[in-house]
Amino acid sequence: MTDRKDFLTREKFMEELYRYKKGSVTRRHFLGVTGLGLATSVLGSAVPGLRGAAFAQGSIGDRVVLATWPNYHDPANFEAFTAATGAAVDMNVFGSNEEMLAKLQAGGSGWDIVVATNYAIPTYVETGLIEPLDLSRIPNFDPSAYDPRFASPGVIEGKTYGIPRNLGTTGYCINTADLEGGATPTTWKEYWDLTRGALSGRVIVHDYQLTAIGNALKYFGYSFNSVDPAELAEAEKLLIEAKPHLFAITSDYQPSMRSGDAAMSMCWTGDAVQLQRDIPEIAYVLGKEGGELWSDFFTVPASAPHKDAAYALINFLLDPQIGAKEQAFHGYPTGDSRVDALMPEEVLKDPVLYPAAELLSALEFGAAVTLTDPTRAEIMARFKAA
Amino acid sequence: MQRQGLRTWLFLAPAGAWFLCMLVLPLIVVFVFAFGERGAAGGYVPAFTFENFANLGARWTAFQNTMILAPVGTLACLLIAYPLAYFLALRASVRWRTLLLILVIVPFWTSILIRSYAWIYLLGGQGIPSLVKAMGLGSIRLINTPFSVLVGIVYGYLPLMVFPIYVALERLDKRLLEASSDLGSPPWRSFLQVTLPLSMPGVATGCMLVFILLMGEFLIPALLGGGKVFFIGNALVDLFLQSRNWPFGAAVAVALVLVMLVTVAAYLRFTRRWAGGRDDVSLM
């Protein structure tokens, strides 16, 4: 427990106690000399509720801190990890890559793993916030199991900074019961026309510049990632025209879609699956013009205090058996062919999760430039304030 | 003498250290940041420029929305809180008073976030509007409008207004009312000439508390306004956490502090004059 060789006699202890009580020595001196301070701190950290249960094992540390997304992990898998390694998993849940980046930039996040979306990775690398991964410490990672299209954003200048986690698309969900017999739309043009027409007052746009502006750009057939001022001006005009017709600008759209207040909303894959599970009339549409395709990656910040535990957790979650359990929980495809092999056929046939090739090929990955482009940020502010 | 000075200093040290670390230092950081430049990937790069202040016009609408809804919200709180506080302090029986006062605080036992979600359902299509429709009064839209934000504001801030007014009214010397009545004042006149002026310190304190907090509010407009009602607090959240334009965010924050100082100073002067130059109508 301690390398202290000198043994404190009973007499000496009492003598020190009296000196302390008289005030002739400080509390720190007293606790140090008698060893009580050390004993207290050791006892304190050994109480299970105060620290992770792993204290005794100590090999990879007692905890790992994860910055990630809501409804994105099966807690049972974390418990299994803690049982196997002794490291408790602390989760910090976020609403956007921008928010994660802001917290990392501010420093002192204490995070060991950050789940970053493809377009955020170049910025993380340029600012030195994440570091290249030592793949020898992630034996469960098999690059050949992934479609290079989804895995490549994690690799920058030949170095792997991100291990693919989940992938998905951004389309829109629409409650077909509200179309009153009309055909289910298939394009972003119809989304914005319905907003200003038949579904006025019942449409939701993400509170997220990448998708709100990107999908407005798609109305005109421009790139989802455009930072061209003239194209952005057109998108802004459309957004501001649509604003009075919107039900809300929010990324928390499930409650309103479920209550029926909203009839249509920009939507991510996982939310669409969850909505359809309970309300079969809700359709998920990938605009024919294109839109966003995204993949999330495990990254390790340069400032991570528990790197060993970070590598251990990433490796643990990449085990195909664990990956299959994760997918069963959150619904997003992992992109890992070894996990797909374990999936039931009806999941693999689900067009929401695995869209048809021609729809998929029109989609674009979000570009890093949109994350830091000041013009897009100002357009979003004007749209919300209008 | 010296010993007493030391003791005073020791008693003030915790509060002093708190204000230094939690108020003065952060404000200095905000002030310095306001003259900086945004880094290429966001954040702050040291510089000396007035550009952030020159750009303040870009958040004018948010300022405008705040400057309308904060006073309107404060006024609505006051109009609802005053009769309630009056009833609690002067009309309710002592037996009921404690229970009623506790009921005013009860909402604070649950997070405002949870309570706002409850309002989302109450004001949403399946809540009050469906009731109105069932009664044959036509379809109305409540949620995600400035009105629903106002409802949320009044709901959330009402206790902050009730308590200062209640305390002022409760301390009211009832003999003054009797004297007023003996001298021939009808009740409404006694209220206007005795009760109301004597409760002004409570009204001023309540209004100040509610108004200052409302100026920085961002949660209620985001939740009950559906992101469509944009306050300056929402603009700040977006600037720091989304676009990560910290220097501009700092400039907006500095401008907000200045606007608040001017408004509060004007308000204090106004209420003091209204209360006939009494000095106790003030927070300071």
* DSSP states along A68-81: E-TT-S-HHHHHHH
* CA distances for A46 relative to A39, A54, A87, A96, angstroms: 10, 9, 14, 36
Percentage of residues in chain B having pLDDT higher than 90 = 70
A99 vs B241: CB contact, 8 Å cut-off?
A: yes
A116 lies in the same domain as A83: yes
CB contact under 8 A, A256 and B41: no
- Would you say A90 and A309 are in contact if contact means Cβ atoms under 8 Å apart? no
Give me the pLDDT at residue B273, please: 74
Q: Are residues A381 and A247 in the same domain?
A: yes
- List CB contacts (< 8 A) between A127 and chain B: 41
Are both A308 and A329 inside the same structural domain? yes
* Minimum Cα–Cα distance from B129: chain A residue: A261
Q: Which residues 294-353 on chain A approach chain B with CB closer than 8 angstroms?
A: none
Contact of A385 with chain B, judged by CB distance below 8 Å, is answered with yes
The per-residue pLDDT for A130 is 96
Instruction: Looking at the structure, tell me whether residues A175 and A300 fall in a common domain.
Output: no
What pLDDT is stored for residue B269 in this prediction? Answer: 85
* pLDDT value, residue A358: 86
R_g of chain A, CA atoms, integer Å: 26
pLDDT at A38: 46
- Structure-token match 């005009």, residue found: A237
Find residue A114's DSSP bridge partners. Answer: A67, A299
CATH number at residue A314: 3.40.190.10
Residues of chain A found within 8 Å of residue B41, distances taken between Cβ atoms: 101, 105, 123, 126-127, 371-372
Provide the pairing of β-strand A291-299 with A363-365: parallel
Scanning every residue of chain A, which has its alpha carbon at the shortest distance from the alpha carbon of B243? A377
Residue A25: the pLDDT is 53
Do residues A252 and A373 share a domain? Answer: yes
Percent helix, strand and coil across chain A, each to the nearest 5: 50, 15, 35
Whole-angstrom distance, CA of residue B260 vs CA of residue A235: 35
Q: Tokens standing for A156?
A: 């920058």
B15 DSSP assignment: H
Best of A109, A240, A250, A261 to mutate (most B CBs within 10 Å, chain B): A261
User: What is the nearest CA distance from B79 to chain A, expressed in angstroms?
Assistant: 29
Regarding whether A240 and A377 lie in a shared domain, the answer is yes
Instruction: Say whether B242 and A98 touch across the interface (CB within 8 A).
Output: yes
Reduced to 3 states (helix: H, G, I; strand: E, B; else coil), residue A383 is helix
Name the residue of chain B whose CA is nearest to A123's CA: B41
Same-domain status, A200 and A249: yes
Quote the CA–CA distance of A112 and A119 in Å, as a whole number: 20
What residue type is assigned to position B168 of the chain?
A
Task: List A171's β-bridge partners, or say none.
Answer: A267
CA distance A384 to chain B (A): 6
> H helices of chain B, where?
2-19, 25-33, 51-54, 60-86, 94-105, 112-123, 128-134, 146-170, 174-182, 187-190, 196-215, 219-224, 232-237, 246-274
Q: In A, residues 119-148, which contact B (CB 8 Å cutoff)?
A: 123, 126-127
Taking only the tens place, the pLDDT of each residue in B125-178 is 889 999 998 998 888 889 999 999 999 999 999 999 999 999 999 998 889 989
Q: Which amino acid makes up residue B175?
A: R
Residues A251, A244: Cα–Cα separation, whole Å: 18
Q: Is B69 on the interface with A (CB under 8 A)?
A: no
pLDDT tens digits for range B197-245:
899 889 999 999 999 999 999 999 999 999 999 999 999 999 998 888 9
Domain tally for chain A?
3
Q: How remote is the C-alpha of A35 from its chain's centroid?
A: 45
Residue A14 has what pLDDT?
A: 62
In chain B, the percentage of residues whose pLDDT exceeds 70 is: 95
Let me know: does A343 contact A324? Beta carbons within 8 Å. Answer: yes
Q: Are residues A128 and A250 in the same domain?
A: no
Per-residue tokens: A364: 């674009």
Q: How many residues in chain B?
A: 284
Provide the β-strand partners of residue A91: A66
Mean pLDDT of chain B: 90
Choose among A201, A381, A386: nearest Cβ to B141. A201
Residue of chain A whose Cα is closest to the Cα of B38: A374
Please give the Cα distance from A194 to A205 (Å, whole number): 13
pLDDT tens, position by position, B106-123: 988 989 889 998 999 899
Domain that holds residue A341: 56-167+295-348
Homologous superfamily assigned to B20-274: MetI-like (1.10.3720.10)
Residues 6+ apart with CB under 8 A from A113: A64, A65, A66, A67, A68, A298, A299, A300, A304, A310, A313, A314
The Cβ of residue B213 has, within 10 Å, a number of other Cβ atoms equal to 16
Which range (A6-20, A344-358, B7-21, B179-193) has the least confidence?
A: A6-20
Distance from CA of A201 to the nearest CA of B (A): 9
Measured in angstroms, the CA of A261 and the nearest CA of chain B are apart by 6
Could you tell me which residues come within 8 angstroms of residue B213 by beta carbon, excluding any fewer than 6 positions away? B157, B160
- State the amino acid at position B80 in one-letter form: I
Contact B235, A90 (CB under 8 A): no
Chain A residues touching B33 at Cβ < 8 A: none
Alpha carbon separation from A155 to A119, A160, A187, A314 (Å, rounded)? 12, 4, 32, 17
* Residue A18, pLDDT score: 61
| Chain center to CA of A275 | 20
Write b or e for each residue in B143-162: b if 16 or more Cβ atoms lie within 10 A of its Cβ, otherwise e: bbbbbbbbbbbbbbbbbbbb
Residues A28 and A126 in one domain: no
Q: What is the mean pLDDT of each run of 10 residues along chain A (386 residues)?
A: 49 62 53 49 42 49 93 92 94 89 90 95 94 96 93 94 95 95 94 96 94 97 95 97 96 91 94 92 95 95 96 96 92 92 91 88 92 88 90
Q: HSE of B182 in the Cβ direction (CA atoms, 13 Å)?
A: 6
Domain contains A219: yes
**Residue (of A210, A65, A289) closest to B242 by Cα position:** A210
Strand A246-249 and strand A113-117: the pairing is: unpaired
Please provide the distance, in angstroms rounded to a whole number, between the alpha carbons at the two ends of chain A.
Answer: 64
Q: Domain ranges in chain B?
A: 20-274
Q: Is residue A51 part of a domain?
A: no
pLDDT for B275: 60
- ipTM field: 0.84
* Residue of B130, B223, B238, B252 for testing the chain A interface, max A β-carbons within 10 Å: B238
Question: Minimal Cα–Cα distance from B129 to chain A, Å?
Answer: 11
Q: Are residues A223 and A371 both part of a single domain?
A: yes
User: Of B251, B267, B249, whose CA–CA distance to B209 is shortest?
Assistant: B267
Q: Are A285 and A171 in contact (CB under 8 A)?
A: yes
Q: Which letter does DSSP use for residue A146 in this model?
A: B
B244 CA to chain A: closest CA distance, Å? 6
**Phi-psi region for residue B231, left (φ > 0), alpha (ψ -120 to 50) or beta?**
beta
Contact B245 A374 (CB under 8 A): yes
Number of residues assigned to chain A: 386
Q: What is Dmax (Cα atoms) for chain A?
A: 93
pTM score = 0.81
- A313 with A327, same domain: the answer is yes
A381/B42 Cβ within 8 A: no
Q: Do the Cβ atoms of A385 and B62 come within 8 Å?
A: yes
Do A282 and A343 fall into the same domain?
no
Q: Answer yes or no: is A344 within a domain.
A: yes
| Strand partners of residue A170 | A268, A292
Nearest to B227 among A248, A255, A371 (CB): A248
Instruction: Tell me the residue type at A23.
Output: G
